[in-house]
Chains A and B, each alone.
Chain A
Amino acid sequence: MRDVYVIGAGQTPFGAFPGRSYRDLFAEAFSAARDSVDGDVPTGDIDEAVVGTLGVGGRQLGLPGPAVTEHVGLHNVPCTRIENACAAGGYAVRQAVQAIRSGMADVVLAGGFDVMTDMSGDVTKYWLGVSGETEWERLTGTTFSGVYAQMASAYLEAYDATPEDFGRVAVKNHANGAKNPKAHLGFECSLEDAVSAPEVAEPLNLYHCCPTSDGAAAALLVSEDVVDAYTDERIRVAGVGAASERVGLAQRDSYTAISASQVAAKAAYEAAGVTPADLDFAEVHDCFAIAELVAYEDLGFCEPGEAARLLREGYTDPDGELPVNTSGGLKSKGHPIGATGIGQVAEAFDQLTGDAGERQLEAPRYGLTHNVGGSGGASVVHVFEREEVGA
């Protein structure tokens, strides 16, 4: 199979931009991705496009993909829309990798967007709940905060963790996001702030929940056959893994782990020939604080029940053994559904190419991105490797 390289990735700032259109945001992300490539990527070189979006707001439920790719001039380029809730972006990247590996394309644009802040709170909550299992789970009156809160209740019961540990996720990710000019909530918070915030769904409070954001992100992926034409960087897609899980939490074997993430991670590690110990950083799906704890365990950073200890010991701080969510994560950087998974790739690309500014880690080689849809109904994991040029 042909190797696939990321030659560029970028994003709009994530935030509240009710005056901007989804096309306009997508165009900015596309330009940011193209500008991040060493050389030029003429529009005509792009063979294929994959666009991830949930379609929040219902503004373009049908054909949202062509609506944005035609807008940026990818005229007559085949475009497929990917919908896998909050994992739409990550799955769009995976789809781009598949297109290149299959030989059908050499240069693929993977993009994603959603606009979430130009609606009333009630309309927003409707959309936040649409990826929960509708007939049974949603009809107990939950949106995702409620479902993740149920996971949190089971986690607190099963393991030696406290709501203060959820607060530690917020403190860490806000500290990281404060250094990210693209972050939606780019300010620091104290543990006191994070544990005393208003309750959203017991045991989760406001600081245990990511914001709803507007934004777009894009990545350009190419085959090994053409990578030389665009860049001297070698950011290789070393491993990809993805899996589904039953959509309703109650149907699952565990409420304290997401099996789709476990399976996806295992596949991505095997493909990349690495173990979690080889990773230099990870961008994980922290839509709720409990999700980051569960991610540490699903991704093999620690044993089940050990995630709180990692946080307390600073293992995942920027100066720790395995920095997690240097971008600020969904919590601080923001979560414009379809853009999120590709925004993670943009952070990985910046870290691996040394363009992460104040957040830059020291010469990382392996980085992981982890993107989850719904409460775990879909998960996708990528491992990226910075290859030494000439190696």
Chain B
Amino acid sequence: MTGSVRRGLVRAPVSPGSAFVSEEAASPETLGRAIGHRYRLDADPVRVLRHEWFDTFDWRLHRAGCTLERLVPQGHAQARFLLHDAAGSVLQATPDTRLDSNRRGTVFRLENLVPDGSLQARLAPIVQMRALLKLASVTVEARQFRVLDGQAKTVARMITETLREPDRHLELPNALLSIVPVRGYSSPAADLARHIALETGVVCAPAGWFPFVLAKCSRTPGDYSGQPSWRLSPSMPVSDAVGAVLAGLLEGAVRNLPGVIADVDTEFLHDLRVAVRRARTALKLLGDTLAEERVTQLQGELSWLSDLTAPTRDLDCHLLTLARSESGPDEAAGVDYFRIFLIRRRQRAQRALVRGLRSARWSEAQRRWGDLAAVDGACQDAAHVPAVGLLPIAEVAPIRIRRAFRRARNLGQAITPQSPATELHSLRRRCKELRYLLEFFAPLAEAQALGQVVTQLRALQDALGEFQDTQVQIVAIRTFAIEMLEAGGTPASTFMTMGTAVTMLEARQARARAQFAERFARFDSRSTRKHMASLFLPSPPSDAGLR
């Protein structure tokens, strides 16, 4: 985009917004000419401002269509937050807030960054448990011009910003001009945008500096998602497709690694574990299409990685459940003791996890994962790939998916209200495998049918997930209680708290179990089977070698 500016590629704004202009075009004289005789310009003093932009690692705010910005005036110990929509308009602003030492740095909990109040409440359901990361910042000299009508009412605002040292090295365009309409007064801002477009060449920049500064760090908004994607074509050999899937999953795992090691928030580890689980599923259900020896080696490494990451994740789940549960003032001391117990456990588990992720074994696992993805991906060596791996995906994927579906149905049909928890857990695992298979080959599936199948599958998974998660937590709390009792010194209120927690978990588990039958019935219905059958129409020819 910067290059476009330099080459003089010009796009005039047809509506108010932000645009890069020459410094001369952003001068008070030019702006004064642009507003004509109907309005008056009232200029604020020049201020030095730092723009800072925040989002979660997985771009939750960006995906919700907004951008969170903090404006820090130089020489002030205060800052304010602005929430913009995708078009750059301000949705909400906070008052000036004291910029204490807790609010400096690059990684924040929402409540430690955004002051208490309406904006924090608005962002909380979007951000959830994720940390907010400072993604980019830039320092500018800014000046606001208020456009006043005959009543001295502000009917539009113009803000000019030029880069200030030390950010001039960013080699961004010289000046940003923002024309900000005031609600209910669209004409003045539109007139100004038209005049300025006529007077001088401009390049639209609705999101202001942010994408340009981010691009300088080789990043773009939305460049990470917990849902990895890959390009597949129906005629692609299945071994290449699996290689592409493994490559995408490895990339996701590696991108989450620094966040896991730095313990930024719980979701880095969650996403790493999901990537590992998906890779294990790919190897389990499609590994026969790749070189056998490499698959066996990588399966061993991924199993080790799952075991390594499990204790911290389990403790994260306990702590998240505890944070969500409401406790009265009488229970506060017991809850605190239990929380501290869990936090200490988690610290130990996290240290072990970090040691593992910095070990030679992780490097080896990563290398094996990468090798398999590369060998059986773009640079596939046919000599190592079994014959089935050379078949096109369009032939293999439908058969494997139907097989996974059939297995899940068979398991589910055998479950009764008296079935032990282990049987529901097995079904949950089969459902996860089916879900991952559907995700792997989603680019080739008929979107509507896929949507219908995934809706029913997700509902079933939610019930099974709730059942199993509560089961794991109940067992763990009972184990913790025994350990605490043996260690001594635990106050009685903590045991009462733990007892209450178990009672609540058992109630949740009972609800999940009650939901199961109805959700499985929908998953196992004729309608879902019909959608499943139409996922990959026309049906590929069957091949005995694939079964």
**A and B interact:** no
Write the residues of chain A forming the contact surface with B, with a CB cutoff of 8 angstroms: none
- B residues with a Cβ closer than 8 A to A are none
